[in-house]
């Protein structure tokens, strides 16, 4: 048998070498740890038995704190969407565009690089299962912000805990069962497929419990109620217990798939408790900038890599992205303008050197409130700006924040408050609501939701939302003034033709309403001559008086016609020109369907 020529042998050896390098590269990629990130909604620092709660048992959550690293002073934002924005970007939420919870104040600018996008760029498969609350129109959605798979809902407050209609990527469908169970099932199924494909994964599981409305089966809330715990508190604790059980299922799945040592598991909550209840002695609750509103449970377990211990230095949601980037050996953070810094060294060694720094917790809602409220943390000090007035606490000696030391340590306060003002001044725009993106490729339908509109109310009345806050799912009603109108701000990226459809309700006695929908000077006139006035419905609420906040109902569709919308920043409005009855119509939304 002839031996290959020297040239052919060189080619063969080179091919073998290249193949070996490719296999090594794939193997290295697969050796990267998976990341499983649990986030719960409105669960406070004290809502765990590990943190001393005398009423509640949370064995699964506690196990992560006992088996992993406890971040004992971990700070987030005081409400939902801003926290999520910082967790996903490594930046103060005010820089990302998310500064509130509704009316387009919750949106992460699509130009921001999210943790999911960073994971994708480094060979990870990415999935999000639960509450998004950082933008409801592509490219603000999970699929537009780095997630390969999404099942959940895009807005904030969610009314349907049982048999909910959820969004799966770009389609909506109804699912059977309790929402916490549904999300868990989907996450497990998705992770199993990634494991079978030998793909590292980032699984983000942001449960929406124990946020209002209070809904869970009697099996969960009744045992608390029988112990003379208030009904509202019983429901909250029942929802937390239900989450704990579902988290146990996920962790058992990792064990069954032999993925425990290869998976970084994170458990964090998004803000303080949503009611006054046990909170480990911390001052304040959700929406508040004292520790009770922004200091939350935070555990990171990487079995076999991180030894159990407690980190006492103040850390923050902005630190999570750079920390995971270091632990997972991700490239691409060099070009990101991050506010956070990696605390991987503290995870590996509690005695690692850590330079004291000035860490900010910003407020939310509008520019005035944001400038008037904030916190600066150091290892020893916490300075709180509450409605424009500063207070100072030695947090190591006074965890309850009872003793204001402003007079004793004026130089400390000057340093901390100056850092707050300086950082705030570095943010170019605060309190500017994001326009709704229209015309992106692959997004043929854009919904202008009633709760996202800005209501022009000439005399302080004449138009409103069905619930005054105008949260996700609420609609426009009490329209009694023809000078009032609803407006949406649009960012149209491409010239196109759109069909507009109005979703409305109106009783028989108010028929005859006339008005128009207008974009960029083009008006589509309408007259409402067909009554549609179904009774609102809601889930089986456990608490008296809660149903009115979370009602839904069917809506009548009225095609309005076509619009030629040019690219650029535009305003869309609905105005009523004639209101013959006591009130005009109720408006759920306007749909814009791209035709070309």
Topology classification of domain 436-594: Jelly Rolls (2.60.120)
Token output for 244 = 């704990």
Entry pTM: 0.93
Beta bridge pairs of residue 204: 37, 128
Tokens of 576: 């009523």
Q: Where are the domains of the chain?
A: 33-353, 367-425, 436-594
Q: How far apart are the first and last CA of the chain?
A: 67
How far, in Å, CA of 207 to CA of 185, rounded?
12
CATH fit for domain 367-425, picks 3.30.1120.10, 2.40.50.1020, 2.60.40.10, 3.40.640.10: 3.30.1120.10
Longest pairwise C-alpha distance within the chain? 101
Which CATH architecture fits 33-353?
Answer: 3-Layer(aba) Sandwich (3.40)
Strand ranges, E, within 494-579: 496-505, 514-519, 522-527, 556-565, 568-578
**DSSP label at residue 216:** -
Residue 537 has a pLDDT of: 86
Residue whose entry in the numeric block shows the structure tokens 């910082």: 86
Work out the pLDDT band at 549, boundaries 50, 70, 90: confident
Q: In 272-409, where does DSSP find H-type helix?
A: 291-294, 320-327, 344-348, 367-372
pLDDT computed for residue 23 by the predictor: 40
| Tokens at 82, concatenated | 């801003």
Instruction: Summarize pLDDT for 154-204 with one digit per residue, the tens.
Output: 999 998 999 999 999 989 999 999 999 999 999 999 999 999 999 999 999
Q: What is the average per-residue pLDDT within 421-447?
A: 93
Q: In the chain, pLDDT over 90 holds for what percent of residues?
A: 88
Taking only the tens place, the pLDDT of each residue in 60-119 is 999 999 999 999 999 999 999 999 999 999 999 999 999 999 999 999 999 999 999 999
CB 475 within 8 A of CB 465: yes
- DSSP per-residue codes, 220-236: HHHHHHTTT--HHHHHH
Q: How far is 48 from 64, CA to CA, in rounded Å?
A: 12
Predicted pLDDT of residue 544 = 62
Sign of CA dihedral 236, 242, 244, 246: negative
What does the pLDDT look like over 16-26, one tens digit per residue?
A: 444 444 443 44
Cβ atoms 213, 541 nearer than 8 A:
yes
Residue 502 phi/psi, 5-degree rounding, is -100, 135
Stretch 500-527: mean pLDDT, rounded?
A: 97
The region, left, alpha or beta by phi > 0 then psi within -120 to 50, assigned to residue 329 is: left
Assigned token pair, 174: 């109804």
């Amino acid at each position: 048998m002839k031996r290959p020529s020297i040239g052919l042998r060189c080619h063969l050896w080179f091919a073998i070498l290249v193949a070996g390098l490719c296999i090594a590269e794939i193997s290295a990629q697969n050796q990267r740890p998976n990341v499983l990130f649990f986030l719960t909604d409105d669960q406070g620092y004290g809502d765990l038995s590990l943190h001393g709660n005398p009423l509640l048992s949370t064995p699964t959550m506690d196990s992560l704190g006992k088996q992993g690293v406890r971040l004992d002073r971990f700070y987030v934002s005081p409400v939902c969407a801003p926290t999520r924005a910082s967790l996903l970007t490594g930046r103060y939420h005010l820089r990302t565009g998310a500064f509130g919870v509704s009316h387009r104040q919750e949106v992460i600018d699509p130009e921001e690089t999210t943790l999911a996008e960073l994971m994708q760029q480094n060979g990870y498969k990415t999935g999000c299962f639960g509450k998004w609350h950082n933008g409801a129109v592509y490219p603000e959605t999970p699929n537009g912000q780095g997630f390969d798979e999404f099942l959940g809902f895009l807005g904030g407050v969610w009314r349907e805990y049982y048999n909910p209609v959820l969004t799966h990527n770009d389609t909506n469908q109804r699912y059977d069962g309790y929402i916490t169970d549904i999300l868990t099932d989907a996450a497990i199924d998705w992770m199993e497929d990634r494991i079978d494909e030998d793909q590292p994964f980032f699984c983000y599981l942001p449960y929406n419990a124990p946020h209002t409305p209070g809904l869970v089966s009697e099996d969960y809330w009744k045992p608390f109620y029988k112990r003379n715990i208030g009904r509202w508190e019983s429901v909250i604790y029942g929802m937390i217990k239900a989450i704990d059980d579902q988290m146990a299922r996920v962790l058992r799945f990792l064990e069954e798939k032999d993925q425990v040592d290869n998976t970084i598991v994170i458990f964090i909550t998004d803000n303080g408790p949503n009611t006054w209840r046990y909170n480990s002695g911390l001052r304040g609750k959700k929406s508040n900038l004292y520790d009770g509103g922004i200091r939350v449970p935070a555990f990171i377990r990487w079995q076999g890599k991180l030894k159990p211990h407690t980190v006492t230095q103040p850390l923050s949601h902005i630190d999570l992205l750079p920390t995971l980037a270091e632990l997972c050996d991700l490239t691409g953070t060099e070009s990101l303008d991050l506010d956070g810094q990696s605390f991987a060294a503290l995870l590996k060694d509690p005695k690692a050197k850590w330079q004291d720094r000035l860490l900010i917790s910003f407020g939310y809602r509008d520019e005035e409130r944001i400038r008037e409220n904030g916190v600066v943390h150091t290892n020893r000090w916490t300075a709180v700006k509450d409605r424009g007035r500063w207070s100072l606490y030695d947090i190591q000696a006074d965890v309850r924040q009872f003793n204001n030391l402003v007079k004793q340590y004026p130089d400390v306060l000057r340093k901390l408050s100056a850092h707050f003002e300086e950082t705030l001044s570095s943010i170019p725009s605060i309190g500017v609501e994001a326009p709704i993106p229209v015309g992106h490729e692959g997004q043929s339908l854009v919904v202008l939701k009633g709760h996202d509109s800005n209501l022009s109310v000439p005399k302080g009345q004449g138009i409103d939302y069905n619930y005054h806050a105008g949260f996700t799912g609420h609609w426009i009603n009490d329209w009694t003034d023809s000078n009032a109108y609803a407006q949406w701000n649009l960012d149209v990226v491409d010239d196109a033709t759109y069909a507009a459809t109005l979703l409305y309700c109106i009783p028989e006695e108010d028929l005859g309403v006339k008005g128009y929908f207008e974009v960029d000077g083009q008006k589509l006139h309408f007259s409402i001559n067909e009554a549609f006035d179904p009774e609102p419905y809601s889930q089986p609420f456990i608490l008296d008086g809660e149903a009115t906040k979370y009602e839904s109902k069917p809506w009548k569709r009225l095609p309005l016609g076509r619009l030629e919308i040019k690219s650029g920043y535009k305003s869309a409005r609905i105005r009523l020109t004639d209101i013959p009855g006591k009130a005009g119509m109720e408006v759920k939304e306007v749909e814009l369907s791209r035709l070309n």
